[in-house]
Amino acid sequence: MNDTFLKACRGEEVPYTPVWIMRQAGRYLPEYQAVRANVDFLTLCKTPELAAKVTIQPVERLGVDAAILFSDILVVPEAMGMRLEFSDKGGPVLGEPVRTKAAVDRLTLPDTEDSMPFVIEAIKILRSELKVPLIGFSGAPFTLATYMIEGGGSKTFLHTKKMMFQNPGLFHLLMDKITLSVIAYLSSQIRAGAQAVQLFDTWAGVLGPEDYKEFVLPYVKRTLAELRKEGVPMIYFVNDCAALLKEIRKTGADVVGVDWRIDLKDAIKGLGKKFAVQGNLDPCALFLPPEKLEDKVKAILAKGESAKGHIFNLGHGILPESQVENAIALVEAVHRFSER
């Protein structure tokens, strides 16, 4: 069992810097495309044998030091009672958007074993097959709330912010319900065998620090405090985290995922000594010529040394247009240049 990833999460000595890639199972991989040719995305998520198969694909192809369960953050809103569709163009659609007290009241607190058994099954299969740690994940409450209130993706997050500012009581009620669902969901994943968890707060970076503190932080803190007793490392990722580091320090995470817009050295300084960090190569760096990519890898590895622990990753998900060879070269370069 390769446990460098778990050791780095805990800030322990490692023989080299572990690396995995957000969205490592996905469309840039021909073997993923081959599976997807016969099955739509949600069916893939809900068929444990297939979800396990595509989870393992990047581990074998890239040699990464961790696997992340193949699923999607939006299966939780679906389990709470919303309609979910993934169109091939235009991204996910959730209906009806949650904008009233009646709509919040209609949402249920899902029991994972009853309404998302495929996740539990996939984790069990994966634990018997993997030789690297398995990361479970969930959307963080705020990021899930944005999809539920907007009814899908958004550029301005108008409806989300309107609810926050015009009807904060309702917004908090919704966040409360989502938080309880996320805690139950991640606890089930850990009990089924997930060896670390990542909370994706992809959209929290659209808020300033004051609003983050009032509308987001209490729910992240509560989620991580409840999960603390499960005893696995907890990673918290915010895309565009730079302005929020002072607040992110209060979340109780073990590892903070850092996007590429901030120098990793500055992120570590802003977070302080308590945290391991994960990141933070620009996903588009995979389009650089090989020597330039290696220079970037070396620079990030050097900066990561000042943190309690460092897990190498991209600053956000790998793009579908990326070349597999470059992802392989990235993993190889991280291992080679970080060997102790």
What b/e readout covers 296-335, taking b as 16+ CB neighbours within 10 angstroms? Answer: bbeebbebbeebbbbbbbbbbbbeeebeeebbebbbebbb
Q: Among 24-32, 182-190, 251-259, 290-298, which window interacts with ligand CP3 (CB under 6 A)?
A: 24-32
For the question of residue 114 being annotated catalytic, the response is no
Shortest Å distance, C-beta 62 to ligand CP3 = 11
Q: Of 72, 211, 263, 295, which one is the catalytic site residue?
A: 72
Number of residues that bind ligand CP3 (CB under 6 A): 21
Q: Of 32, 61, 65, 147, which one is the catalytic site residue?
A: 147
> Which DSSP letter does residue 133 get?
P
Residue 312 CA to residue 339 CA, distance in Å, equals: 13
Q: Is residue 171 close enough to count as binding ligand CP3 by CB under 6 A?
A: no
Residue 160 near residue 146, CB atoms below 8 Å: yes
Residue 167 CA to residue 190 CA, distance in Å, equals: 35
For the question of residue 23 being annotated catalytic, the response is yes
Using CB under 6 A, which of 5, 28, 70, 212 touches ligand CP3? 70
Residue 250 neighbours by CB distance under 10 Å: 12
Shortest Å distance, C-beta 101 to ligand CP3 = 26
Amino acid at 121: E
DSSP 285-338: GGGS-HHHHHHHHHHHHHHHTTSS-EEEEESSPPPTT--HHHHHHHHHHHHHHH
Helix (H, G, I), strand (E, B) or coil at 121: helix
Closest CB to ligand CP3 belongs to which residue? 202
For residues 283, 286, 289, 293, the Cα torsion angle rounded to the nearest 10 degrees is 70
Shortest Å distance, C-beta 238 to ligand CP3 = 10
For the question of residue 36 being annotated catalytic, the response is yes
Using CB under 6 A, which of 56, 74, 196, 286 touches ligand CP3? 74
Q: Is residue 30 close enough to count as binding ligand CP3 by CB under 6 A?
A: no
Using CB under 6 A, which of 26, 270, 279, 309 touches ligand CP3? 26
Q: Among 5-13, 16-24, 109-117, 284-292, which window interacts with ligand CP3 (CB under 6 A)?
A: 16-24
Token digits for 32?
A: 């993923």
- In the block, which residue shows the tokens 């004051």? 210
String of contacts with ligand CP3 for each residue 172-211, x by CB under 6 A: ----------------------------x-x---------
Q: Is residue 212 close enough to count as binding ligand CP3 by CB under 6 A?
A: no
Q: Of 3, 10, 27, 263, which one is the catalytic site residue?
A: 27
Please compute, for residue 289, the number of CA atoms within 13 A of its CA located in the half-sphere on the CB side. 2
Shortest Å distance, C-beta 258 to ligand CP3 = 14
Catalytic residue positions, numbered:
23, 27, 36, 72, 147
Give the interface with ligand CP3 as residue ranges (CB under 6 A): 22-27, 36, 41, 68, 70, 72-74, 86, 91-92, 137, 153, 200, 202, 317
